Structure 1
Amino acid sequence: MVMLSKMQFNIQYEDALELPAGELVNVFDRLTFIRIIEIVDDTPVLLFNAIFLKGFSLKHLKEIPSLEVQDVLHQDGSEILFSARMSGPIAKLIVSQKDAWPIAPIIIEKKQLVLSMQGTPSGLSTFRKKVISLLGSRFKLTVNRSYQGEWLTAPSMSPRRKQVLETAINMGYYDHPRQCKQQDIAMRLERKQGTIAEHLLLAEGNILKAWFEQSRISE
């Protein structure tokens, strides 16, 4: 079973401006990626929801060379829902791999670009190297803490083992100092202490392996 990981790239104002579609940071107060509509000739058509900065409008958006507005689905004052074909290198890069793909949040806000990706550890590692070759090291990379330990399927983590692990955590077994013993967990769950010990050992092994695989994406 394949574990998926997530990472975020934070590209600051000065570096974002150097990108072909970088002028977006001067057009929108906030721009949010919703989904990929289609990919044509390795170039994605993306759906966005956005809020124009004061004094800016659709006219300014159409002046950005690497962005071709396809459709305006809704506009109310400064807020707009639109699709656009993005031909810049970052846009092409995010759809170039089968083992890494863009996810929300991808936003422009507070004069910076936040790009989020999901994929296999090896896929994200490859994607990171491609970003470095394109931008150098002029970005901040974070493996968001809320993502750590999150995967679609925890290998061999049965419902019963998960219950034992959650009970151990809730009872303070992993606190320092420990608030309970394995025997206490066994009494709570009405199981044998040996069974509890085995479940915890295997669960800890799964988590450590998953953490190690996920940590490789930032190497």
Structure 2
Amino acid sequence: MGNIRTLQLQVDSANFGNIDAVSLLEFFESIEFISNFRSAEKNSMVSIIAKVRHKQPLQEYENNDTLQIESVLSETDHESLVVARLGGRIPRQLGLLNGIWFVVPSFVSRTEIKITISGLSNSIKQMLRAIQAIPEKISFSLSEKESENTKLKSMNSMPSKRRIVLLKAIELGYYQYPRKCTQKDIAEAVGLKQSTVSEHLQKGESSVIYSWSKLIDYTP
């Protein structure tokens, strides 16, 4: 069996643009993926169990191509558990591929959209190509599942000090925008010289980016 990889996509509200799922926020406060309901046949819509939050009665929601409610498992005034079929560009692409599925955390909210997908390496590669064709600004991260743990690609093969430096950089917010710390802050936190930290960051970043590049199709 091929390696299982996980692709996480994130879009903040400033970059929602014309993403299909945004239209759902006209009725729902949020939609949260709970579980896959059944495996989709190729070229069919994906069915999931989702928790939906709503201010209006759920009965007032009108099914559309982006989300079709098939059945209601439980319902309160403002929160329901439903079986739903998903349309939209990303779910449609997922329905075209074999060996790929939604996992948690995946949700649509008014502040951000986050979609997490696991699957076989080749299917994740094809999904990533499709994501690159979407005009909206979508950030993504990629990891590889080994045994029961999901770990950053190439992180395990790094020297221990380099791995410690990278993990501390992530923890302190070095890779957030805008950055939450400096290389000096990281150096003080791990007890190394700033020049050593700089070298570890450069080599670590190069290793991770190279591993990601093998999934990206550069053919025009």
TM-score range relative to shorter protein: 0.5 to 0.7
Question: Structure 1 residues 24 and 210 mapped into 2: Cα distance closer, same or farther (>3 Å)?
Answer: same
CA distance in 2, matches of 1:69, 1:37: 12
Counterpart of 2:35, as a letter, is: R
Question: Structure 1 residues 57 and 112 mapped into 2: Cα distance closer, same or farther (>3 Å)?
Answer: farther
Dislocated runs of 4+, deviation >6 Å: 172-176, 208-211
Match of 2:52 among 50, 53, 62: 50
For 2:18, the equivalent position in structure 1 comes to 18
Question: Structure 1 residues 67 and 30 mapped into 2: Cα distance closer, same or farther (>3 Å)?
Answer: closer
Cα deviation digits, residues 180-202 of structure 1 (max 9, x gap): xxxxxxxxxxxxxxxxxxxxxxx
Question: How many angstroms does 1:176 deviate by?
Answer: 7.1
Aligned-pair identity (%): 13
Unaligned segments of structure 1, at least 5 residues? 155-161, 178-207
Question: Structure 1 residues 18 and 59 mapped into 2: Cα distance closer, same or farther (>3 Å)?
Answer: farther
CA distance in 1, matches of 2:65, 2:14: 19
For 1:151, the equivalent position in structure 2 comes to 146
Question: How many angstroms does 1:129 deviate by?
Answer: 1.1
CA distance in 2, matches of 1:118, 1:73: 26
Asked if 1 retains the 8 angstrom alpha-carbon contact of 2:47 and 2:86, the reply is yes
Question: How many angstroms does 1:20 deviate by?
Answer: 4.1
Unaligned segments of structure 2, at least 5 residues? 150-155, 166-189, 193-205
Question: How many angstroms does 1:131 deviate by?
Answer: 2.1
Question: Structure 1 residues 25 and 15 mapped into 2: Cα distance closer, same or farther (>3 Å)?
Answer: farther
Paired residues for 1:58-137 under 5 Å: 58-133=58-133, 135-136=134-135
Question: Structure 1 residues 114 and 217 mapped into 2: Cα distance closer, same or farther (>3 Å)?
Answer: same
Asked if 2 retains the 8 angstrom alpha-carbon contact of 1:21 and 1:64, the reply is no
Cα deviation digits, residues 135-167 of structure 1 (max 9, x gap): 22x2322216xx4x642389xxxxxxx9xx9xx
Cα deviation digits, residues 81-131 of structure 1 (max 9, x gap): 001122333222123222433211110123332111123444322211112
Quick check: 78-87 or 40-49, which moved more?
A: 40-49
For 2:199, the equivalent position in structure 1 comes to none
Asked if 1 retains the 8 angstrom alpha-carbon contact of 2:57 and 2:77, the reply is no
CA distance in 2, matches of 1:15, 1:139: 6
Question: Structure 1 residues 213 and 99 mapped into 2: Cα distance closer, same or farther (>3 Å)?
Answer: farther
Counterpart of 2:147, as a letter, is: L
Asked if 2 retains the 8 angstrom alpha-carbon contact of 1:12 and 1:113, the reply is yes
Question: Structure 1 residues 210 and 79 mapped into 2: Cα distance closer, same or farther (>3 Å)?
Answer: same
Counterpart of 1:71, as a letter, is: S
Question: Structure 1 residues 16 and 82 mapped into 2: Cα distance closer, same or farther (>3 Å)?
Answer: farther
Paired residues for 1:171-210 under 5 Å: none
Q: 3-state SS of the aligned residue for 1:124?
A: helix
Asked if 1 retains the 8 angstrom alpha-carbon contact of 2:108 and 2:114, the reply is yes
Question: Structure 1 residues 129 and 60 mapped into 2: Cα distance closer, same or farther (>3 Å)?
Answer: farther
Q: Please report the TM-score for the alignment, with normalisation by the length of structure 2.
A: 0.60
Instruction: Tell me if 1:34 matches 2:34.
Output: yes
Q: 3-state SS of the aligned residue for 1:37?
A: strand
Question: Structure 1 residues 173 and 62 mapped into 2: Cα distance closer, same or farther (>3 Å)?
Answer: closer
Question: Structure 1 residues 95 and 65 mapped into 2: Cα distance closer, same or farther (>3 Å)?
Answer: closer
Asked if 1 retains the 8 angstrom alpha-carbon contact of 2:71 and 2:82, the reply is yes
Question: How many angstroms does 1:17 deviate by?
Answer: 6.0
